[in-house]
Each structure stands twice: as C-alpha cells, then as structure tokens.
Structure 1
Amino acid sequence: MTGPRGTTPAVAGPPPRRGRLGRWRDQALALGWLVVVWNLLWGEVNWANLAGGLLVGGAVLLFFPLPPVTFGGRLRPWALLVFAVNFGTELVSASLHVARIAVQPGYRPRGAIIAVQLRVPTDLNLALTAEAVSLVPGTLILELDRDSGTLYLHVLDTHGPADLTAARERTLAVERRIIRAVGSAAELRRVQSDPVERGIRP
C-alpha cells in the first residue's frame, strides 16, 4: 500500500543497492573482457589460458584499479556473433597480408599515421574499439585522446589516400559493430544515423 504523495522515506533505500550491483556488474564485465583479450593474445582458448586470464584480470582490477567505466548498454547475442565473425575474418586476412609482406623480397611497405574520431566517445567504447583494432595485424594504436574520442593509429602498407580512407572506414566499422553488440539504444541510433563517411577526415 503506497503512502501519501509527499512521503519518500520508503523508497530511499534501494538505489545504493542497485549502485553496488551495478559496480559488481561492471567489474565482472571488465574481467570477462580481460579474459577474452588474454586468450586472444595467446592465440588459443583452453582451460589453462582461461584460468590464467582470470588470475591476471583479477590482479589487474585489484592492484591497478581503473576509473569506473559504466555499462549502460545491452548485450545482443546475434550482433555479438556478427562482430566475432567479422573480427575473425579480418584477423585472418590481415595476417596473410602481413605474412606476404614479410616474405616478399625487396619490398618495403610504407606506413602512415591517421586520426579517427569515434562517434561514441565513451570510455568503454574507446577501450573496446582500440583493443579490437590493435589486435588485427598491420594496425597499432599509438595514442588515444579521451577528450575528443580520437584514436591515432599506425597503418602498415599504405599506397595513397584511398588506403588511408579504407583504414578509417575499417576502424569506424569496428566501432559500429561493437555498439551494435553491446551499446545502448541511444548509442545505436547515433552510429546508425551517422554514415561512416561523416567520421572521415582528409
């Protein structure tokens, strides 16, 4: 039975509990991503790597606490599967490309540094996009501007403006797939309403 409209003591208690649950959820999500990254770095998923990832991830979160990164999105399994398939395809394709460069006699690839401004400049999206881009051979994150949401990355084997444009488009496509997989409804509308070309700077 509800009390008078001006009476609020009965509803003052729940928010702190939800806040604690939210922090635990964010910590669990961060630990899960650290375990995923750990297994990707080893290149193999097995029980030893999973246990090692849990230990290393737990130690990182315990001894090197990061600023709180809130997760206000929603996990979408189908979009997450699409992201994983595309990421695996890009990983294999880029690995073959870098291997061809390594064994091609007398070939000297030209590198370039580009800036890509993300459309969703949250800490979580910056971290996930930067991690996904860095794990693909041939690209390396050099710097991250948190205030403007800009990634500065080194791209291997560029031949002209078309290659730089393609690298920017790939980075923004990675961001779009991540937002579709774990972003909020507002973030999803933002990446769907803005075409990729809008985030490209010459």
Structure 2
Amino acid sequence: MSGGRWRDRCVAALGLTVIWVLLWGSFTPLTVVGGLVVAVITLIVFPLPPVTYAGRIHPLGLLRFVTRFLRDMVMASAQVASLAFRFGHVPRSAVIAVPLRCPSDLGLTLTAEALSLVPGSLIVDADRKRGVLYVHVLGVESPDDAEKFRQDVLDLESRIIQAFGSPAERRVIKEVPA
C-alpha cells in the first residue's frame, strides 16, 4: 500500500476516534483507546474507497462557504421553527432532483453533507453515476419554490467547489450556468 493510502487510513482512523470520543462525551484513555480499536476494526472490515483530491483549500472560498453556511443554518432553523408553530397549517414538502455540475465523489459528498446539516432539507438519495442529489425539502409551496431551492443547492455546490475544488472543477463552475 502506498504512503498516501496509509496516511489517508490514519487520518480516517483519527477522525473516527474523535467522533467516538465525542459520542461518549468523555476524554479518558480508555475511551480514546477503545475508539481507536473500533476505528481500526471498522476500516479493516469496511475499507473506504480511495478518494482522489486534486484540489487544495482556498482560504477566501472557505471563508465564503463557512459564512454563508452558518447564515443558512440560522435562517433555516428560524423557518422550520416558524413552520412548526403555525397551528392549523400543514407544511407542504417536495423531493427535488438536483443535477450537480461537478459530480466528483468528494464534491457530491460535501454538498450532500452540507445540505443535510441545514434544517428543513434532507438527502433522500444520491445518484453517483449521474451526479444527481434527491433532496426532501420542507415548505415548498409552488414550482417556483422548488426551482429556488434547486438554485440554492447549485449555489452551495459552487461555494464548496470554490473552497475545496480542483482548478478543473473551479473552471466548470464558472463556465457552466447554474
């Protein structure tokens, strides 16, 4: 196995160990060692496919992504709370297919994860071959609302690619209209 692959596995094991410790809620030697053992066994039994990353982190793009992501989370939380407290009103929802412009494994995953963290939206399915995300969305009242949400997802993808994408992906985002 190449050095890069070993590094990736070590990073994955470290990440899984951190998640384990956070889930247990205590930072003790036993929790850390237990998490490391579980992480190693998990990575042996369920090996991760290699993910190629040809890009680099772009600080300005990352700042734009994080700032807008936090704003979106606050706004969506308020909207979901508003829907929850509107008595007598049954909120409508929809499943919307969003074909991404840069459907690399990493871009698809990062977009899906960021989208799932925002209240009111949830990834139902992802078509990896075609690069399409199927998203369940609360509060969709009309086809215009669905189209606005689809555009918001493409804008999110653009911010993620501007933060983490390769030069080729960044060119595609600029050239292909949303």
Matched residue, 2:132: 150
The counterpart of 2:110, out of the listed 102, 111, 128, is: 128
TM alignment of 1:156-167, pairs within 5 A: 156-167=138-149
Matched residue, 2:72: 90
**Gap runs ≥5 in structure 2:** none
SS in 2 for 1:23: helix
Question: 1:26–1:70: 8 Å Cα contact kept in structure 2?
Answer: no
Higher RCO (CA 8 Å, separation ≥ 6 residues): 2
Instruction: Give 1:33 deviation, angstroms.
Output: 7.4
Q: Runs of at least 4 residues of structure 1 off by over 6 A?
A: 31-36
> Per-residue displacement from partner, 1:63-116 (whole Å, max 9, x unpaired)?
422221111111112211111111000000000100011111111100111100
Matched residue, 1:73: 55
Residue 149 of structure 2 corresponds to residue 171 of structure 1 = no
The counterpart of 2:81, out of the listed 96, 99, 105, is: 99
Instruction: Look up the equivalent residue of 2:76 and give its one-letter code.
Output: A
Identical counterparts, % of pairs: 46
Instruction: Give 1:62 deviation, angstroms.
Output: 4.6
Question: 2:121–2:138: 8 Å Cα contact kept in structure 1?
Answer: yes
Query: For residues 181 and 25 of structure 1, do their structure 2 counterparts lie closer, same or farther at Cα, with a shift above 3 Å needed?
Result: farther
Query: For residues 133 and 118 of structure 1, do their structure 2 counterparts lie closer, same or farther at Cα, with a shift above 3 Å needed?
Result: same
Instruction: Look up the equivalent residue of 2:91 and give its one-letter code.
Output: P
Instruction: Look up the equivalent residue of 2:176 and give its one-letter code.
Output: D
| Length-normalised TM-score, structure 1 | 0.73
Take 1:174 and 1:134, find their aligned partners in 2: how far apart are those partners? 12
| Length-normalised TM-score, structure 2 | 0.82
**Gap runs ≥5 in structure 1:** 1-18, 197-202
Between the two proteins, the alignment pairs up a number of residues equal to 169
- For the pair shown, the structure with the greater C-alpha radius of gyration is 1
Matched residue, 1:183: 165
